[in-house]
């Protein structure tokens, strides 16, 4: 297994500094719906695939979850372990999860599918280790946000005119899961009033949040 994917090991400290400072997609858009979609967490087992420095595991743990974080980048996991000794953190990859079938009540991919080379295999693995009736919670970039190199086209004054799309497609594979909820979170009007630069993010959603449920078997 490669520890360093696309330079994550060498950029780990820069990532930790950035995420500790402020992350718009997480703090403004995704944290609340992701936690809500996980459902009641007291006493539940939760796997965070691509947990990084353990931020979401700590949030879920604060709500009573028994958390397991998995990531291929050792420097990130060392920080996760130091900050959250109560959690379990393993070095491994999402495409080959080292767990038995039906091991977890909740499986989370929080802005990590975009960094997993074989994301279809990772989703399949997530479904495998999820218990029947369990929840898979996905936070991901909107498809256009990851497939469009230029983003907004603006006039001479910088006003957003339109968002150019190219190669727009949704390749998410359900793997027998049932889609229960799909959200495109945007900043509230109150948040935009305080931070006007976020106004464009009310026009074109930057991220999506999805709740998939593993079907019960007879």
Per-residue pLDDT 10s for the chain (218 aa) are 444 565 788 889 999 999 999 999 999 999 999 999 999 999 999 999 999 999 999 999 999 999 999 999 999 999 999 999 999 999 999 999 999 999 999 999 999 988 888 888 999 999 999 999 999 999 988 866 555 555 556 778 777 665 444 443 353 455 778 899 999 999 999 999 999 999 988 888 889 999 999 988 74
Summarize pLDDT for 168-206 with one digit per residue, the tens.
335 345 577 889 999 999 999 999 999 999 998 888 888
120 domain residue, yes or no: yes
Q: Are 111 and 6 in contact (CB under 8 A)?
A: no
CA distance 84 to 74: 15
CATH of the domain at 125: 3.40.50.150
Q: Answer whether residue 1 is part of any domain.
A: no
Give domain status of residue 164, yes or no: yes
**Structural domain count, the chain:** 1
Residue 37 lies in a domain: yes
Q: Answer yes or no: is 55 within a domain.
A: yes
Instruction: Please indicate, yes or no, if residue 184 is contained in any of the structural domains.
Output: yes
* Any domain includes 137: yes
Tell me the residue range of the domain where 78 lies. 12-214
List, in sequence order, every beta strand (DSSP E) within 52-195.
66-71, 88-91, 104-110, 130-141, 152-154, 160-163, 177-183
**CA–CA distance, 73 with 91 (Å, rounded to integer):** 7
DSSP symbol at 201: G
Phi, psi of 206 (to 5 degrees): -90, -30
Give the list of residues 6+ apart from residue 71 with CB closer than 8 angstroms, or none. 50, 51, 52, 77, 80, 89, 90, 91, 92
With CA atoms as reference, report the closest residue to 94 among 65, 127, 66.
127
73 found inside a domain: yes
């Amino acid at each position: 297994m490669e520890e360093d994917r696309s330079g994550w090991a060498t950029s780990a400290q820069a990532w930790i500094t950035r995420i500790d400072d402020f992350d718009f997609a997480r703090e403004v858009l995704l944290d609340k719906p992701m936690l809500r979609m996980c459902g009641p967490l007291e006493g539940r087992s939760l796997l965070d695939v691509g947990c990084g420095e353990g931020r979401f595991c700590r949030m879920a743990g604060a709500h009573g979850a028994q958390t397991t974080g998995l990531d291929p980048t050792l420097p990130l996991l060392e920080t996760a372990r130091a900050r959250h000794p109560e959690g379990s953190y393993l070095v491994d990859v999402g495409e080959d999860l080292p767990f038995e079938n039906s091991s977890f009540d909740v499986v989370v991919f929080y802005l990590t599918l975009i960094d997993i080379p074989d994301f279809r295999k990772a989703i399949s693995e997530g479904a495998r280790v999820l218990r029947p009736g369990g929840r898979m919670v996905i936070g991901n970039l909107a498809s256009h946000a990851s497939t469009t190199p230029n983003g907004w086209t603006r006039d001479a004054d910088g006003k957003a005119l339109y968002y150019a799309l190219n190669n727009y497609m949704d390749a998410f594979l359900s793997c027998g899961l049932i889609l229960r909820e799909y959200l495109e979170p945007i900043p509230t009007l109150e948040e935009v009033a305080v931070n006007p630069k976020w106004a464009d993010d009310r026009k074109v959603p930057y991220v999506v949040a999805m709740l998939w449920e593993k079907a019960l078997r007879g």
